[in-house]
Structures are given as C-alpha cells and as structure tokens.
Structure 1
Amino acid sequence: MSLLDDVIDASGGLAHWNGLSRFTLHLSIGGTLFDGVGRANAFKDVTAEGSTRSQSIRFTGISGGTHSGSFQSDAITIETWDGKLLRFWRNPSLAFPHSSSAVLSDELHLVFFCGVAIWTHLSSPFLLARPDVDSEELPSTKDSWRRLRARFPSDLITLAPEQVFHFDPHGLQRRTDHDLFGMNVVHCSWAHESFGGVVVPTLRRARRLDRDGTVVAKPVLMDIEIFDALFE
C-alpha cells in the first residue's frame, strides 16, 4: 500500500468518508494572529456546521456569541444570531498580504480564514485522494515520520497551494508545513480521537518555522481545540 492509502485507512477509510455528508463541531480557535488584532475571543466556544463534500462551513456564536458567519467558496456572510444578514463578500480570495493584521481585523476575512483552516483540517487526509491533487512522497524525517508534498488545484481554496504533510508510524497526521502571511509555518496536530469512525486530531497549533527548519516555540500563531464532533 502507498503512504496515502495507509494514512487514509488510519483516519477511517475513504469509503466511510465518502458515505458522509455533514459534520458538526464544538471548538475554539485562538492564538496571536487573533490576539494582535483584537479578536482574541471571536472564535471561542463556537459551533461549526459544514459539508464534507464541498467547501462550506457555518460558525455560530462568533464575536462573543452575537454573530454567525458562513464560509463558502463563492461567498462569505456575517449574520445576527437570528439570521439577519449584516455583511456579504462575494467571490472571496485568499490573496493575503504579508501582514496578517491587514486581514484578520476584518470579521469577513476572519470567517474566511477560519473557514478555510477548519474545513481543510477536518477534510485531511481524505482531501489528498482527490484526482486533481498532485502528491508525492518525500524522504522520511529523522523521527521516522513519513511525508507527502501536496499541490492543490486553483479551484480548491487552501491556506497555501503547496503543503508538506507529516505522518507518524501509525499513519496519523501530525504536522503540516506551508507558507502563510510571508512566514514559513508549521501546524502540529495531536490528541487524535475517533468520532463515528472518523479519526480527527483534536488539538492543533501553528508556529513559525525558521529557515534552518527549527520550530519557534513561541508565539503560538493559531491554536485549535475540538471538544466534540459529529459526522452524518
């Protein structure tokens, strides 16, 4: 079996994933990317409901519980808790500048950023099985983690068009490297749990990566904690 086959099986299997259509998460998102623009509590203790088959996710309870925000590939919306439309962004783009503060201070951009991050986090590694995703295995690391470099098609919105995924000897995704806001970043994932047969890393932290490959311990740029998940 190929590395991709191994990691997909370790996460629950492609046949099982393809039989699902929806997910619901209870989670919190934080980190210095949010703190630095006055959004420290914008995604604390929120509900996210989305599709496993298309890039679509809706956050309820953002901005202190007063707003909802939805991410789709062709539109971002901000609404009141009872569904009144407040703001709308058609055909959003992840053409981020080098400064995160220029983006994440705006609530529409923040929903977009979190939507992309959470949807791809939840959909990996099944996302890598798409026929339009170009992947190749790289040499293993010194700690025996196997690696895949993935190049994503332009019609799939991701945080970076090229990313390197690291998997431990059990086939579980433990790290992802890519460029973001002019930095090299590394997302470390752990505390995997099975929810209805889908294995999900419930903790994820993004840190800066030095040019020599050293992970900078602080600050934590993005911190994701998934408390519960339901797949249907």
Structure 2
Amino acid sequence: MNALLTHALDAHGGIDRWKTLTMAHATIVSGGDLFAIKGMPQDPTPREMTAWLHQQHASALPFGAPDQKTDFTPDRISIEKLHGHVVAERNEPRKSFTDHDLDTPWDPLDRAYFNGYALWTYLTTPFLLSMPGFTVTEIEPWREGQELWRGLRATFPPGIASHSAEEDFYFGPDLLLRRHDYHVDIAGGFAAAHYAYDIVEADGILLPTKRRAYRRDADRRPLLDQTMVSIDISDVRFI
C-alpha cells in the first residue's frame, strides 16, 4: 500500500478498526448553488444518511416526501416508500447524464444518484482508497496558507461511482483530510476544489463534519465567490 495512504488511514482511526465496522449513519444538511442551477434547490431539512462501508450502497431519508427514501448502488438508483414500494427507479443511472453540461436540469433520480455516490464517498474517505481496484500515487503537495498538504491521486475502479475516474486527496501535517479535488462529470465536468474541516471522532474513526465545494481555476485555486455544494454532518455513528 502507498506509504502516505497508510499513514493517512492510521490518522483517521486505522484500517484494523475500519474492518470491524459495517455501516455509517449520519445526519446531513446540504445546500449550495449547484442544486439551484440543476432546478433542484435544496431545502435545509436534516436527512439521515446511511452508508454501507465495504460495498457502494447508500440511502437518504427523507427524500421528496416524509415517507420516502433513496436506495443507491452504482447500477441502480430508486426512490422508495418506507414500506418498500418503488416510486421511481433507474438502472444504469450514469448513462442518463450523457451530454449533460452544468446547466442541464436534473430530475429527482439524478439528484438522488448524485447524493448517493457523493455522500458514500465522503463518509468512507480515506478508507475507500484501500479497497480492491484503486490505484493510488503521491502527487505534488498543495500549499494552503502556512501549511503544506501532501496529496494522493486516486484512480477509481470502474465498479465504483464517483465524481470522476481520477480524484486528488490532500492531507494536512496531521495527515487528516483537508481537501478533495475532482471534476463533476455528471454536471459538465466542472473542476471542483472541495474543502473538509471540523474533524470529529466517532466510534474510533475521525472524519470532517463540514464540507464546502467550489469551482477552481486552471491553477487549482478555489473560486470562493460561489459555494457549489455545502454539507454539514452531525450525529455520526458507525456500527
């Protein structure tokens, strides 16, 4: 395993602890301009997010109505009643984003798919990078103020849905996650600089509770005049 990744995993609670856990539950409040651009403005309702840790599977509750939830895997997205009735579903959901640009409207299933893969990624970082099929290499560090953040470039395997096939993760002097860079392929491929902070410990795992994603310029600097996505995470439990 890559040495920097090994140290980052240790800093976030350790791979041995991670292997004993199966699921994460968290309360999330999300917002940002991306959802308005997509015709899906986000309300401030807290939602319960569930992520399975060792397979890409996630669910958000409520979604669209108080008695509805999402069910996400890379190959299928659905909106379901709590008793199991399927309200809407889409197989091979990634294909529905073909030829999308930033201004292309989303429907509720598009929104649910984005929510599913994004929150699964955030609740499992950096441990997902140790899963089979990932290729991880150290890259040039990023200087942020007085700190130098070491970076990892990860190539995602085809079976894992995420923003893009290649993404960069930056870690501070304490080896905790500070920033996550990617292209949002399902929204025209715009380049994002995604900051993560306010680290907490939950059941032996350390993770950020605030995330803010901005567009970035050609020099990788964030364009701070517009918050594309904001996520506040609380009440995190691992089981």
TM-superposed CA distance for 1:56, in Å, is 0.8
Q: Return 94-103 or 42-51, whichever deviates more.
A: 94-103
What's 1:30 paired with? 31
CA distance in 2 between counterparts of 1:55 and 1:107 reads 20
**Counterparts of 1:117-128 in structure 2 under 5 Å?**
117-128=118-129
CA distance in 1, matches of 2:235, 2:148: 30
- What is residue 13 of structure 2 aligned with on the other side? 12
- 30-39 or 9-18, which moves further after superposition? 30-39
Q: Which residue of 2 aligns with 1:163?
A: 167
CA contact 1:27–1:224 (8 Å) conserved in 2: yes
Deviation at 1:22, TM superposition (A): 1.2
Amino acid at match of 2:217: D
Q: Which amino acid aligns with 1:151?
A: T
Partners of 2:47 and 2:103 in 1: CA distance: 22
More displaced 10-residue stretch of structure 1: 73-82 or 166-175 = 73-82
Structure 2 distance, partners of 1:118, 1:16, is: 21
Q: Deviations over 1:82-138 (max 9, x none)?
A: 4432101112216554424435x3111111001110001111111111242111111
- Write the distance in 2 (CA, Å) between the matches of 1:99 and 1:226: 28
- CA distance in structure 2 between the aligned counterparts of 1:151 and 1:204, rounded to whole angstroms: 22
Q: Is the 8 A contact 1:166 1:176 kept in 2?
A: yes
Q: Tell me how far apart the structure 2 counterparts of residues 97 and 42 of structure 1 sit (CA, whole Å).
A: 27
Moved more, 75-84 or 216-225: 75-84
**Structure 2: where are the runs of 5+ without partners?**
none
Matches within 5 A, 1:51-200: 51-63=52-64, 65=66, 67-93=68-94, 95=97, 97-103=99-105, 105-142=106-143, 143-180=147-184, 181-200=188-207
Look up the SS of the partner of 1:7 in the other structure: helix
- The alignment's TM-score, normalised by the length of structure 1, stands at 0.92
> 1:46 matched to which residue of 2?
47
CA contact (8 A) 2:197 2:210 kept: yes
Question: Which letter does structure 2 place at the counterpart of 1:113?
Answer: F
CA distance in 2, matches of 1:38, 1:98: 14
TM-score by length of 2: 0.90
Alpha-carbon shift at residue 41 of structure 1 (Å): 3.0
Q: Distance in 2 between matches of 1:46 and 1:62?
A: 8
Residues 96/198 of structure 1: CA separation in 2 closer, same or farther (3 Å cut): farther
- Match of 1:116, as an amino acid? Y
CA distance in 2, matches of 1:75, 1:152: 18
Q: What is the CA RMSD across the aligned residues, in angstroms?
A: 1.9
Say which is worse superposed, 66-75 or 168-177, in terms of deviation: 66-75
- Out of 212, 218, 221, the residue aligned to residue 214 of structure 1 is 221
Conserved 8 A contact 1:43-1:63? no
Q: Secondary structure at 2:93's aligned position in 1?
A: coil
**Partner amino acid, structure 1, of 2:153:** R
> What percentage of residue pairs aligned between the two structures are identical?
29
SS of the equivalent of 2:211 reads: strand
